């Protein structure tokens, strides 16, 4: 896996994008010329916003939903560029969409690939082939399901087509059970993506994660606190009448308030005193982690001894009564020490899974030696 892609960051795509976080705003869908222009004009009054987004082709989950106005929307985006200083971005889902955008450079500055498309490597490759020879930035949303490899693969396919102005969009993942959010953030996945591609900018989409505007500000703050490189926030001149995703879209004035109230933190602080104090904290963490790993290694040695003892006495690996006792006692211990019980349960399950694997290996070796 190539982690050294020579990706050009957003601040070098166009003039006016030097400052972070990069703020992208606009309606989920371009619905009418008036709606697009009114929204864009109001958004252009917000100094933090540099890019106007609008979907003109909308791949919907079910037929019969509003699927976008199509190519005519590009004419409206050209008007947006004439009336404001905003750059424009649209979603492309097919090679034909790419071709049409190529034929209308006065309308589109940036493309993005949606979550449903990213989930299909065949579709991504078709788009990558259509992008060959173009010099246009492409943003790639995470796939609907929490599969980091799919996201990485989509980025690599686009990069291999000759596009090096690439960013990722984190819009969350479909939940497996009901939650207060439309999509679960699973912050560890975009963080892992950053580890794979250190030069890659990641834009957070709090609108799609939230599902309703009540949580947009909270998710946006979380994203910036985790050093995401920007925000894409759905904004509509009249959200109540929006033809798609009405509940999660903000009014321009609501967006302005959000961007004023949000706390922008430094990615780093070069103050010597701060660095010295931070290093002391990190030293403590490093020392504790070393002890945890050494204790886990010792635990696994004991597990292997237990596995051998069970095998010698013809006893099954999994003991339900013992497992219940471990869960109950450790969760209580976690509670007594102010450790989150959900976290502790997940940790116990991981350790137990590895313990089962170790004991199975011991049993196989015992059986093979007979």
Please write the tens of the pLDDT for every residue from 187-241: 999 999 999 999 999 999 999 999 999 999 999 999 999 999 999 999 999 999 8
Integer Cα distance of 13 and 179 in angstroms: 37
Integer Cα distance of 291 and 309 in angstroms: 27
Integer Cα distance of 256 and 246 in angstroms: 18
Q: Which secondary-structure segment (H or E) carries 33? A: helix 33-44
Query: What's the CATH code, domain 272-369?
Result: 1.20.59.10
**What pLDDT sits at residue 65?**
57
CB 74 within 8 Å of CB 47? no
Alpha-carbon separation of residue 47 from 84, 199, 298, 330 (angstroms): 12, 26, 57, 52
CA angle 240, 246, 251 (to 5 degrees): 65
Q: Which two tokens stand for residue 159?
A: 């990069």
Integer Cα distance of 130 and 177 in angstroms: 37
Series of mean pLDDT values for 10-residue runs along the chain (370 residues): 82 94 96 96 97 85 66 96 97 97 96 97 98 98 97 98 98 88 95 95 97 95 95 96 90 97 89 91 94 96 95 93 96 97 96 96 86
- Record the pTM: 0.84
**What pLDDT sits at residue 2?**
55
pLDDT in tens, 256-301: 999 999 999 888 888 999 999 999 999 999 999 999 999 999 999 9
Integer Cα distance of 208 and 233 in angstroms: 9
**What pLDDT sits at residue 211?**
93
Integer Cα distance of 342 and 300 in angstroms: 23
**What pLDDT sits at residue 268?**
84
**What pLDDT sits at residue 298?**
97
Integer Cα distance of 56 and 196 in angstroms: 32
Domain coordinates of the chain in residue numbers?
10-261, 272-369
Alpha-carbon separation of residue 249 from 57, 201, 203, 232, 340 (angstroms): 18, 24, 17, 11, 33
**What pLDDT sits at residue 369?**
79
Per-residue DSSP letter, 20: S
Pick the CATH number of 10-261 from 3.40.50.800, 3.30.70.260, 3.40.1480.10, 3.20.20.70: 3.20.20.70
CB 75 within 8 Å of CB 103? no
**What pLDDT sits at residue 314?**
92
């Amino acid at each position: 896996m190539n982690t050294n892609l020579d990706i050009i960051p957003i601040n070098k795509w166009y003039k006016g994008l030097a400052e972070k976080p990069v703020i992208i705003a606009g309606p989920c869908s371009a619905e009418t010329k008036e709606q697009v222009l009114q929204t864009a004009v109001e958004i252009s009054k917000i100094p933090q916003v540099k890019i106007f987004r609008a979907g003109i082709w909308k791949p919907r989950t079910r037929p019969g939903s509003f699927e976008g106005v199509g190519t005519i929307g590009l004419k409206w985006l050209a008007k947006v560029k004439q009336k404001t200083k905003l750059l424009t971005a649209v979603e492309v889902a097919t090679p034909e969409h790419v071709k049409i955008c190529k034929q209308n450079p006065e309308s589109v500055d940036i493309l993005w690939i949606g979550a449903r498309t990213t989930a299909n490597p065949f579709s991504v490759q078709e788009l990558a082939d259509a992008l060959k020879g173009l010099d246009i930035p492409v943003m790639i949303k995470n796939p609907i399901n929490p599969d980091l490899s799919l996201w990485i693969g989509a980025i690599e396919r686009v990069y291999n087509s000759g596009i090096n102005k690439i960013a990722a969009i984190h819009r969350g993942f479909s939940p497996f059970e009901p939650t207060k959010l439309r999509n679960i953030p699973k912050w560890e996945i975009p963080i892992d993506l950053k580890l794979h591609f250190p030069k890659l900018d990641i834009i957070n989409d709090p609108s799609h994660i939230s599902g309703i505007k009540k949580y947009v500000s909270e998710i946006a703050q979380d994203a910036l606190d985790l050093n995401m490189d920007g925000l894409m926030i759905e904004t509509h001149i009249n959200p109540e009448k929006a033809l798609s995703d009405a509940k999660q879209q903000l009014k321009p004035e609501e967006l302005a308030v959000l961007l004023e109230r949000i706390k922008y933190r430094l990615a780093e602080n070069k103050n010597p005193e701060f660095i010295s104090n931070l290093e002391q904290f990190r030293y403590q963490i490093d020392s504790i982690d070393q002890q945890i790993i050494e204790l886990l290694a010792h635990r696994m040695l004991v597990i292997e001894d237990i596995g051998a003892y069970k095998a010698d006495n013809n006893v099954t690996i999994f003991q339900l009564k013992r497992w219940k006792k471990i869960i109950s006692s450790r969760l209580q211990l976690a509670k007594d020490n102010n450790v989150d019980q959900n976290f502790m349960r997940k940790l116990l399950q991981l350790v137990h899974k590895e313990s089962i694997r170790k004991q199975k290996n011991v049993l196989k070796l015992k059986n093979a030696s007979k």
